[in-house]
Amino acid sequence: MTSPFAHVTESLIRHRGVLGAMVVGLDDGLIVDSTLQIGVNGNAFAALTASLYRKARRSAKAAGFGATTFLELAAEQGRVCTAGGRELVLVVVCESRVNVGLLRVELLRAAEQLP
Amino acid sequence: MANDDIRALSEELAADPTSLAFIPLGEALRRRGDLEVAMRVAMRGAERHPMRPDAHDLVARVSADRGELDRAISEWETVLQLAPSHGGARKGLGFVCFQLGRLEDAAAHLGAALAIDPDDGSLAAALQTVRHALDRQADADRATVAVRRVAATGESESAHPPRGAQYTEALATRPTIALPSDLQDPEADAGALFDDLLEGQRSAAMLLDADGLVLAGRYVAVDGRDLAADIGAQLSGVSDEASRAMRHLGLGAWRQIVFETEAASVAMAPLQEGVVLVAAARPIPLGFVRRVLERAVHRAIAWLEGSR
């Protein structure tokens, strides 16, 4: 059975440098659907990125900046990008070399389909 | 700290109200920005454990975040009565005294804190800036004496308009944090450290220490108020969350966080134990915000090194 989000994750993982794409519950950090390359620990990325996104959302709201729509975490050995709605977020794990601008546009577009 | 951790600490405290779980719980709530709840937790803890310095330290930290500086001072003074070598209390008092314009007190407290923790780079930088501010204040005081002498000898002000204007300006100048002279315009203050990087855009940059306290930079609202302390306190927790996440993700240390909201784009990068943060109104392109962040990091590094 194919989930309604399969086409979203499959589309995102086609980008050069993307290692995994997931739809994740924002409140519980659990994977709803995912397309991952072998070796990517989807559960850890889902849980921790959802937690970071929640934190950013709360902080931005408290600072008077309104709702958060996109987050990118750049690290020494890769990036994680997140965009989302109220209940679900898209989490993409990628290499440092990924085209962040293009990925951001795709993520924001895809996130519009999430509840 | 994750919600689960906070929940676990809350449950632990509920099961045993005498538990010391209120300290990490209150601190986690403070960092998360839940200041009302954090204050309730801290106050109850301090009432139950009045002889514990860390309980009063927690009340002081939350009070400072809420802008209740008098209460923060009182609590940190209590901490020092209980534990005279408490570096956190000295540091907190130093920052609060500086905010209140009590520069000599600020220098004394920061100096004492640095003696306790000589490796804390943010303390060295803060002490240096306070000393610069004291120097400027001394210059202004000398100008005051000179003006009074001129008046006492009966010389009219109109006979020396340039000097009179200069003294008036000096007297009107509120003591500010001066920058290292080899780095920046010596007339600028720490609040203006990043101003020239922003190029008049609707944006702000700040350097925050590990506790989310503002070391340099500012965030000026439309009504002219400097909201840097509030914004910094709210957003610094994001970097804590990122650091925690990085321990489990195998991606190495985090280098940059960028997030977009309805009203703003925010970018932050780690620097020593603190963070450099840039926030810009939403119409400003994200790429520009990232560039400003990179330049702000270089500026902050030079400023911190120059302050040592």
Under CATH, to which class is A6-111 assigned? alpha beta
- B244 CB neighbours in chain A (<8 A) are 48
CA B110 to chain centre: 13
- Cα(B262)–Cα(B181) distance, rounded to whole angstroms? 39
**Lowest-pLDDT range of A5-9, A47-51, B45-49, B302-306:** B302-306
Q: What does the domain layout of chain B look like in residue ranges?
A: 3-84, 123-183, 190-306
Taking CA atoms, what residue in B is nearest to A66? B262
B258 band by pLDDT with thresholds 50, 70 and 90: very high
Strand-pair partners of B276:
B207, B269
pLDDT at B149: 54
Q: Is A70 on the interface with B (CB under 8 A)?
A: yes
Across B17-24, average pLDDT: 89
Across the interface, do A73 and B266 touch by the CB < 8 Å criterion? no
Cα B119 to Cα B211: distance, rounded to the nearest angstrom? 16
Do A59 and B234 count as a contact with CB atoms less than 8 A apart? Answer: yes
Q: Is the pLDDT of residue B230 over 90?
A: no
The confidence band for B159, taking pLDDT boundaries of 50, 70 and 90, is very low
**A65 contacts B261? CB cut-off 8 A:** yes
> A44 in contact with B at a CB cutoff of 8 Å?
yes
Nearest CA in chain B to A63: B231
A55/B238 CB distance under 8 A = yes
Domain extent listing, chain A: 6-111
pLDDT for the residue A5: 84
Beta bridge partners of A23: A33, A90
Q: Contact B234/A67, CB-based, under 8 Å? A: no
Whole-angstrom Cα distance, residue B34 to residue B208?
19
Cβ-Cβ contacts under 8 Å, B287 against chain A? 101
Type of residue at B233: A
ipTM: 0.91
Most confident segment among A34-43, B23-32, B174-183 = A34-43
Residues 6+ apart with CB under 8 A from A30: A24, A46, A47
- A with B: how many residue pairs have Cβ under 8 Å apart? 105
Other C-beta atoms within 10 Å of B79: how many?
24
Using pLDDT thresholds of 50, 70 and 90, give the confidence band for residue A74: very high
CB spacing of B262 vs A65 below 8 angstroms: yes
DSSP E strands in A1-115: the ranges are 18-25, 31-36, 68-75, 78-84, 88-94
What whole-number distance in Å separates Cα of residue B113 and Cα of residue B107? Answer: 10
Alpha-carbon distance A36 to A55, whole Å?
25
Contact A52, A60 (CB under 8 A): no
Cβ <8 Å between B234 and A75: no
If you measure CA to CA, which chain A residue comes closest to B255?
A75
* Listed residue (B272, B278, B274) closest to B296, CA to CA: B278
Cβ A56–B238 below 8 Å, yes or no? yes
pLDDT at position B142 is 65
With cut-offs at 50, 70 and 90, classify the pLDDT of residue B201.
low
Q: Answer yes or no: do B251 and A75 touch at CB < 8 A.
A: yes
Task: State the pLDDT at residue A88.
Answer: 93
Provide long-range contacts, Cβ within 8 A and 24+ apart, for B62-71.
Answer: B62/B26, B62/B30, B62/B35, B62/B38, B63/B39, B64/B92, B64/B95, B64/B96, B65/B30, B65/B35, B65/B38, B65/B212, B65/B233, B66/B35, B66/B39, B67/B229, B69/B96, B69/B99, B69/B100
In chain A, the residue whose alpha carbon lies closest to the alpha carbon of B248 is A44
Kindly state the DSSP code that residue A86 receives in the 8-state scheme: S
Which residue in the set A69, A70, A77 is minimally distant from B252, CB to CB?
A77
The CATH number of B190-306 is which of 3.40.50.2300, 3.40.50.300, 3.30.450.30, 3.30.420.40?
Answer: 3.30.450.30
Residue pLDDT, tens place only, B78-106 = 898 888 888 889 888 888 887 777 888 88
- Cβ neighbours of B208 in A, within 8 Å: none
Q: How far apart are CA B61 and CA B70, in angstroms?
A: 12
Contact B269, B275 (CB under 8 A): yes
Q: In the structure, what pLDDT confidence band is assigned to residue A81 with cuts at 50, 70 and 90?
A: very high
* Residue B140 in this model has a pLDDT that exceeds 70: no
CATH architecture of structural domain B3-84: Alpha Horseshoe (1.25)
> Using a CB-CB distance cutoff of 8 angstroms, which residues of chain B are in contact with residue A78?
251
Q: Are B177 and B133 in contact (CB under 8 A)?
A: yes
* Identity of the highest mean pLDDT range in B27-36, B185-194, B222-231: B27-36
Check: pTM over 0.80? Answer yes or no. no
Tokens found for residue A96: 């440092």
User: In whole numbers, what is the pLDDT of chain A averaged over residues?
Assistant: 90
Strands lying side by side in the sheet with B264-271: A31-36, A18-25, A88-94, A78-84, A68-75, B254-261, B264-271, B274-281, B203-208, B214-218
How far is the alpha carbon of A63 from chain B, nearest alpha carbon, in Å? 5
Q: Please tell me the distance from the alpha carbon of residue B118 to that of residue A76, in angstroms, as a whole number.
A: 29
Query: Which chain A residue's Cα is nearest to B35?
Result: A62
